[in-house]
Amino acid sequence: MYKNIAIPVSFDEERDTAAAISVATSLADEGARITFIHVTETVPTFIADYVPPETIKARTEEVKNRLKDLASKVPNGSGVIVHGSAGRAITNWAGENEADCIVVASHRPVVSDILLGSTAAWVVRHADCAVHVVR
């Protein structure tokens, strides 16, 4: 069904990454690429000045290793770290890399999501490709 699938991952406990992987692999054509995307939000300068560079480097390496582990679980899997606002970074990456589907795990909505909107909702509204939301 799809040839180039993106799966955003945040590595928090609220989202079911295993379910997103299951959906993505069932939607994937034979030989499809599946890319796990982790977004690193831009840290304001006034905060970044207080975070030691080795902390940032260690966290980046941890994320790279977790992405590599996820990618090894699917055929033609890979991982990428992108920077910026989560929803925008995901849809920008998908557009620039010609993803034809995004499979995003979502948490149960809370009041703040209604007022501000969740990343999954932003992706659904702004992506130029199919989006499957998994809860």
Would you state the pLDDT for residue 115? 45
Given a cut of 80, whether residue 117 has pLDDT beyond it is: no
Given a cut of 50, whether residue 116 has pLDDT beyond it is: no
Q: Using the structure block, give the residue that is written with the tokens 């929803």.
A: 87
Given a cut of 50, whether residue 86 has pLDDT beyond it is: yes
User: CA 88, CA 74: separation in Å to the nearest integer?
Assistant: 25
The tokens describing 14, both together, are: 């609220």
Record the pTM: 0.89
Task: Map out the domains of the chain with their CATH numbers.
Answer: 2-134 (3.40.50.620)
Would you state the pLDDT for residue 19? 92
118 vs 30, higher pLDDT = 30
Instruction: For residue range 72-85, list pLDDT tens digits in order.
Output: 999 999 999 999 99
User: CA 76, CA 97: separation in Å to the nearest integer?
Assistant: 15
Residues 6 or more apart in contact with residue 102 via CB below 8 angstroms: 5, 6, 7, 8, 90, 91, 94, 123, 127, 129, 130, 131, 132
Residue 106 pLDDT level (bands cut at 50, 70, 90): confident
Given a cut of 70, whether residue 125 has pLDDT beyond it is: yes
CA dihedral 65, 69, 75, 77 (to 10 degrees): -30
Instruction: For residue range 12-56, list pLDDT tens digits in order.
Output: 766 678 999 999 999 999 999 999 999 998 888 888 888 898 998
What is the distance, to the nearest Å, from the Cα of residue 88 to the centroid of all Cα atoms in its chain? 11
Given a cut of 60, whether residue 93 has pLDDT beyond it is: yes
